[in-house]
């Protein structure tokens, strides 16, 4: 797998500074790339590495930075250009269209063209797979599930009954889509389960990370919009709605019936309680607790930042006294009045 800088620049609307015929065989970081690799500079933090990099060429945004480099490709957004180039150098094994003899496929299943069904896959009654769908080993596709064209489902994925997956999606290993939502009613004899009567729908171009769970709705579907990306080990509870092109990072959890708008970014370890509404274009920073609705776009944070343990303990002790301090200040204000 090799491309000339001219071919690479054409693919990303870039301009070569140097030898257009120079051949690139791989991608790499500024620090560790060799003469066969193409690297990129997207973060000014790493600009000093331009002087020492051994990369055969570098994606850059500022022509002035090309001085001292063997070759460069000038682009407006190096990180986006790099992302596009990773598709050119994608080394993922691509299976041929086939159905493994160990797969268990109900006679009612509808398979599109070029289906790729790996070993020990289970396709239950009423499953419908569109063209070019790939199902990895040991995955279980429940009754009446619909999967859109060009979607790839990795090994050990479970799709419960009636789930709908859009086109061009990617579901990583271990994710579970459509398990029961956590719905129970208390009674004098214990918890009474609320049957989860709806399902889950995923839009087009959705990516779900490894071991992430998305619960089915109780009465209405849990809905994940087009272009949503969800990282590993994320919990999405029943009846949640996530708007188009939003992103949720690892170990976050969204409680039931919360609605997240379009183009939102939820950083790692965020907790969002149930029945909230989050507006479009909201960014929540890492380890925050969202305990009330957010009606205006912008960046939001909660919690305290890291500091030395002895200083943190003093701060925590003062926090516990805030209520008493507030009452004392109110009394002083009244006296002054």
At residue 299, the 3 state secondary structure works out as strand
Residue 164's H or E segment, with its range, is: strand 164-165
User: By the 8 A CB rule, do 140 and 163 touch?
Assistant: no
User: How far apart (Å, rounded) are the C-alpha atoms in residues 122 and 269?
Assistant: 33
Strands of the 110-111 sheet, one edge to the other: 110-111, 128-129, 146-147, 164-165, 200-202, 222-224, 241-242, 259-260, 277-278
Long-range contacts of residues 181-184, Cβ cutoff 8 Å, at least 24 apart: 181/215, 181/216, 181/217, 181/218, 181/222, 181/237, 181/238, 181/239, 181/256, 182/215, 182/237, 182/238, 182/256, 183/218, 183/238, 183/256
**Active-site residue, selected from the candidate residues 11, 32, 172, 238:** 238
User: How far apart (Å, rounded) are the C-alpha atoms in residues 228 and 263?
Assistant: 9
Tally Cβ neighbours within 10 Å of residue 276: 17
Residue 238 falls in the annotated catalytic set: yes
Enter the DSSP assignment of 291.
Answer: -
Q: Tokens standing for 250?
A: 């690892």
Phi-psi region of 269 (alpha: psi -120 to 50; beta: other; left: phi over 0): left
Query: Among all residues, which ones are annotated catalytic?
Result: 238
């Amino acid at each position: 797998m090799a491309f000339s800088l001219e071919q690479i620049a054409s693919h990303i609307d870039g301009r070569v500074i140097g030898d257009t015929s120079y051949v690139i065989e791989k991608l790499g970081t500024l620090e560790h790339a060799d003469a066969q690799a193409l690297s990129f500079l997207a973060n000014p933090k790493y600009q000093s590495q331009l002087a020492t990099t051994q990369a055969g060429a570098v994606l850059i945004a500022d022509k002035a930075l090309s001085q001292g480099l063997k070759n460069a490709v000038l682009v407006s957004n190096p990180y986006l250009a790099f992302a596009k180039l990773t598709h050119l150098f994608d080394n993922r094994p691509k299976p041929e269209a086939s159905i493994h003899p160990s797969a268990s496929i109900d006679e009612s299943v509808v398979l599109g063209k070029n289906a790729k069904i790996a070993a020990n896959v289970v396709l239950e009654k009423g499953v419908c797979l569109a063209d070019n769908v790939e199902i990895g080993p040991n995955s279980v596709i429940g009754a009446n599930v619909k999967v859109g064209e060009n979607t790839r489902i990795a090994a050990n994925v479970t799709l419960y009954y009636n789930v709908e997956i859009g086109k061009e999606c990617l579901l990583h290993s271990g994710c579970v889509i459509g398990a029961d939502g956590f719905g129970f009613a208390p009674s004098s004899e214990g918890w009474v389960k609320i049957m989860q009567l709806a399902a889950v729908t995923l839009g087009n171009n959705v990516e779900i990370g490894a071991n992430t769970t998305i619960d089915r709705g109780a009465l209405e579907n849990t809905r994940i919009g087009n272009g949503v990306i969800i990282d590993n080990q994320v919990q999405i509870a029943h009846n949640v709605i996530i708007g188009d092109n939003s992103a949720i990072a690892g170990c976050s959890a969204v409680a039931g019936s919360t609605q997240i708008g379009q183009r939102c970014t939820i950083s790692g370890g965020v907790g969002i309680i149930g029945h909230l509404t989050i507006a479009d274009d909201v960014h929540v920073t890492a380890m925050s607790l969202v305990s009330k609705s957010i009606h205006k776009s912008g960046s939001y944070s909660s919690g305290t930042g890291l500091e030395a343990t002895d200083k943190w303990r003093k701060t925590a002790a003062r926090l516990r006294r805030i209520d008493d301090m507030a009452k004392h200040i109110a009394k002083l204000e009244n006296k002054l009045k």
